[in-house]
């Protein structure tokens, strides 16, 4: 079949890889001059999630207190008058209780395993090197935090995740750069969880796909999609024309199937087909700096459990990431107000200062942010839609690096008319049909 993929981020490129591996002819439409330029660009680098760092569950709390005084969970919640933001947060809060939390983790687990397995297969088949590093250490400042994480810790044991629960000294044994004076109630070390360079991987994959005749329509923005019973048609224009404010020549491309993997723009494209999924955008932040003092730089990735800030070492750089800002939908797509941005960057800087002081060269610190879509039940939106030629792969939230290789495989199987090799409950839990809209 001829399959069109809109979006050249991690999700679109991994989907193209699996589609090509399944024998399809593939064209990826990407508005930027190259791949991995939006959410997949400056992201945190951890192959998330585990039950300890999913973006739903017991560690999240939203409400008036968080709006007025800021939340310790690292989320910056400013809904203003947005009914959509409040509704979304109410839905997220529903998954905080141990039972719904465990049920969602149970559905997510097969996808996590599939993604890990698929990535390992890809890297060994193609001898890929993209700054992979073993080991992720979650740090808890207080016994209260450890207590709050009890249901996630129980799931780690139940799911038999290889992990070690450590006291403060044990944490420093694993990662000597954690300062001795800092209050530290304990930690959880995952020896086999990893961090790696997501845009480097995506670009390497594109090079591989170039050699296998996957077409990349770069610098082209998909403006409209048309679906009929026989073909799908995508109309696109050069992105440079949008930047200059005038419309140039429109090009059309037709195929047998279309996959929407356009990150934060996916909902707008889906709406053209008369469908919707209730995803909500958040602007997520990152700080990056060269390593300042090698002896202070961590060797494993570190996560501050409370603020959910990830601290990773990518080659000779340190990256601190997370601090999502949740506001009204339209505001999220505009520039973040300076005060909120400052709070987000402070959250990142504080975590770095606490756990790896001196690791980064502060004078060369650069900030970055991007919009990523969150789903109200914590799972990506991956699968077939009500139209037999239209598929969707988005909503990975802050866990896309760890999940995209798996969701790509699922979509490629569904496009090919194959049953994905994954639990059917997980397929149903990922499907856009779960929302009853599409």
Ligand X SMILES: Cc1cc2nc3c(=O)[nH]c(=O)nc-3n(C[C@H](O)[C@H](O)[C@H](O)COP(=O)(O)OP(=O)(O)OC[C@H]3O[C@@H](n4cnc5c(N)ncnc54)[C@H](O)[C@@H]3O)c2cc1C
Instruction: Enumerate binding residues for ligand X (CB under 6 A).
Output: 6-12, 29-32, 37-40, 43-48, 221-222, 261-265, 284-286, 310, 321, 370, 372, 394, 396, 398-402
Residue 70 phi, psi dihedral angles, 5° rounding: 85, 150
The two tokens of residue 83 are 């009914």
| C-beta separation of 156 from 163 below 8 A | yes
Give the C-alpha separation, 198 to 206, whole Å: 12
Minimum distance of ligand X from residue 432's CB (angstroms): 15
| C-beta separation of 128 from 198 below 8 A | no
Q: Is the CB of 244 or the CB of 424 nearer to ligand X?
A: 244
Give the C-alpha separation, 153 to 110, whole Å: 18
Minimum distance of ligand X from residue 126's CB (angstroms): 20
Minimum distance of ligand X from residue 348's CB (angstroms): 9
Enumerate the H helices of 323-376 as residue ranges. Answer: 329-333, 338-355
Three-state secondary-structure class, residue 265: helix
Minimum distance of ligand X from residue 287's CB (angstroms): 10
Q: Is the CB of 172 or the CB of 241 nearer to ligand X?
A: 241
Minimum distance of ligand X from residue 14's CB (angstroms): 8
Q: Is the CB of 12 or the CB of 383 nearer to ligand X?
A: 12
| C-beta separation of 222 from 238 below 8 A | no
Kindly state the helix (H) or strand (E) to which residue 146 belongs, with its residue range: helix 143-148
Minimum distance of ligand X from residue 181's CB (angstroms): 28
Three-state secondary-structure class, residue 88: helix
For residue 414, the tally of other CB atoms under 10 A from its CB is 20
Give the C-alpha separation, 301 to 391, whole Å: 34
Three-state secondary-structure class, residue 288: strand
Q: Is the CB of 8 or the CB of 420 nearer to ligand X?
A: 8
Q: Is the CB of 41 or the CB of 167 nearer to ligand X?
A: 41
Give the C-alpha separation, 170 to 284, whole Å: 31
Minimum distance of ligand X from residue 261's CB (angstroms): 6
The two tokens of residue 281 are 């955008």
Minimum distance of ligand X from residue 364's CB (angstroms): 19
Q: Is the CB of 11 or the CB of 78 nearer to ligand X?
A: 11
308 DSSP assignment: -
For 366-396, give one letter per residue: b (16+ CB within 10 A) or e.
ebebbbbbbbbbbbbbbbbbebebbbbbbbb
Q: Is the CB of 5 or the CB of 95 nearer to ligand X?
A: 5
Q: Is the CB of 81 or the CB of 243 nearer to ligand X?
A: 243
């Amino acid at each position: 079949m001829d399959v069109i993929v809109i979006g050249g981020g991690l999700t679109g490129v991994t989907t193209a890889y699996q589609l090509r591996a399944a024998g399809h002819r593939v064209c990826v439409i990407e508005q930027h001059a190259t791949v991995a330029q939006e959410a997949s660009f400056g992201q945190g680098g951890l192959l998330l999630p585990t039950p300890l760092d999913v973006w739903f569950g017991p560690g999240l709390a939203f409400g008036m207190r968080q709006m007025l005084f800021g939340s310790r969970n690292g989320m910056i919640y400013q809904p203003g008058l947005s009914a959509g933001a409040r509704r979304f947060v109410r839905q997220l809060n529903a998954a905080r209780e141990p039972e719904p939390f465990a049920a969602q983790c149970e559905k997510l687990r097969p996808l996590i395993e599939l993604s890990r397995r698929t990535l390992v297969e890809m890297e060994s088949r193609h001898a890929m090197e993209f700054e992979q590093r073993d080991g992720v250490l979650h740090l808890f400042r207080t016994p209260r935090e450890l207590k709050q994480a009890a249901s996630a810790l129980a799931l780690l044991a139940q799911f038999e995740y290889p992990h070690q629960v450590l006291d403060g000294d044990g944490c420093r044994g694993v990662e000597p750069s954690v300062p001795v004076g800092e209050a530290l109630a304990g930690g959880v070390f995952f020896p086999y969880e990893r961090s790696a360079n997501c845009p480097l991987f995506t670009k390497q994959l594109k090079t591989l796909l170039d050699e296998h005749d996957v077409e990349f329509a770069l610098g082209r923005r998909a403006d409209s999609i048309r679906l009929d019973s026989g073909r799908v048609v995508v109309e696109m224009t050069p992105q440079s024309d949008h930047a200059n404010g005038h419309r140039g020549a429109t090009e059309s491309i037709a195929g047998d199937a279309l996959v929407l993997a356009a990150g934060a723009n996916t909902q707008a494209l889906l709406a053209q087909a008369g469908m919707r999924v209730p995803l909500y955008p958040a602007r997520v932040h990152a700080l990056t700096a060269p390593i300042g003092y090698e002896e202070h730089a961590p060797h494993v990735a570190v996560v501050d459990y409370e603020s959910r800030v990830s601290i990773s070492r990518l080659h000779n750089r340190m990256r601190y990431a997370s601090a999502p800002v949740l506001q009204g939908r339209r505001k999220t797509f505009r520039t973040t107000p300076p005060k909120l941005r400052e709070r987000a960057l402070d959250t990142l800087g504080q975590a770095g200062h606490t756990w790896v002081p001196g690791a980064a060269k502060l004078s060369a610190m650069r900030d970055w942010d991007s919009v990523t879509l969150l789903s109200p039940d914590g799972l990506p939106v991956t699968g077939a839609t009500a139209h037999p030629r239209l598929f969707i792969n988005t909503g990975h939230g802050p866990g896309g690096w760890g999940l995209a290789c798996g969701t790509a495989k699922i979509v490629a199987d569904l496009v090919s008319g194959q049953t994905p090799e994954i639990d059917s409950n997980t397929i149903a839990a990922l499907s856009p049909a779960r929302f009853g809209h599409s």
